[in-house]
Structure 1
């Protein structure tokens, strides 16, 4: 099966369970607070892999920012539109997105790039750099160690999920190679492994 179809079916089946299992409210809270401190009033923000819209799109919209969320899962998008009616949500493959240059003050992607093939991850990063206004922020989580594969029993549900991780150094090279400057990098532990959180910026 096409890896993206595995991802789509997985999130369609486990949208609510994913929110419950990964505690986005507590995990993303400090990251959202840091982003809000760096945004001007009324900023335009793109959320790639927005999921159900909680908590990122909700919190940014509540703070007065114009949020556009994109997700491959129709169920996730339906829930996001119900839960965060103030934001705009698009059901689409992130790799197919097209926006005018300098459309956004910030682009955020938490745990979504890792669901794309690695060549598409690199192309999407180049697009992000073009979509950001000078000085705009890109905040993302990526892999920490290289690995590509399927979990056939994701969240102990019998549902499959697919990922493709590059290691942290490779991800950093891809981000800087797109024309962005990495301002901060930190390891985010999870179970026996973890992910990498990057804060990057388009130069003025």
Structure 2
């Protein structure tokens, strides 16, 4: 698969942040999953949104429900939009692959961001998830339904995606202290997303 398209993900979202935001911000198809995620988090708990984009609709949903959000994204224009929209929350330009905040959170989410990483980078992310998780913390991310790579398009450019096999994600949960709560492959109620929800045993 094309290594160049994998390396260009950050640049793509930097250059097309405004267009992506306009397309994405008013969609709420993932609400049922967000509610399941929040059900595992203490009231007014702290959430780390990894690959937060421009903050809508996901971070916005958490803020509306009185959770504290720290959002990180490698696209500086996306973070700038977040800071304008939700100045009371914390936003940081950062590459998730090298994330080290020296803090722990009650929930970690990487929705439609984690699956842009190569498979090796996805494997390495589980140590980062573990590093930032309080005991009992919820973890939710989207992946592909099976092992492989795929190239989509956005604004006429290649858009890289990758996924591990379900059994490998489960092995990584075990290795890093998480237990699987729920997984649905290509959920028809959530725009065909494949979603993983887990909890850190601590």
Distance 1:35 1:170 in 2: 22
| Number of aligned residues | 198
Q: Distance in 1 between matches of 2:137 and 2:26?
A: 24
C-alpha spacing 1:112/1:179, structure 2 compared with 1 (3 Å): same
Q: Give the alignment's TM-score, normalised by structure 2.
A: 0.85
TM-score, normalized by length of structure 1?
0.84
Specify the alignment match of 1:115 in structure 2: 116
Measure the CA separation in 2 of the matches of 1:147 and 1:12. Answer: 26
What's the offset of the Cα at 1:8?
1.2
* 1:64 aligned counterpart, secondary structure: coil
Structure 1 unaligned regions, length at least 5 = none
CA 1:96–1:24: 2 relative to 1, 3 Å: farther
Q: Structure 2 stretches of 5 or more lacking a match? A: none
Q: CA deviation at 1:85?
A: 1.9
124-133 vs 181-190, which deviates more? 181-190
Q: Give 1:39's aligned residue.
A: 41
Cα deviation, 1:77-108, whole Å, max 9, x if unaligned, reads 1111122222211111101111336x111101
2:143 matched to which residue of 1?
142
Q: 2:129 aligns to what?
A: 128
Task: Say which of 171, 179, 182 aligns to 2:180.
Answer: 182
Asked if structure 2 preserves the Cα contact closer than 8 Å seen for 1:126 and 1:179, the reply is no
CA distance in 2, matches of 1:118, 1:195: 18
Greater relative contact order (Cα < 8 A, sep 6+): 2
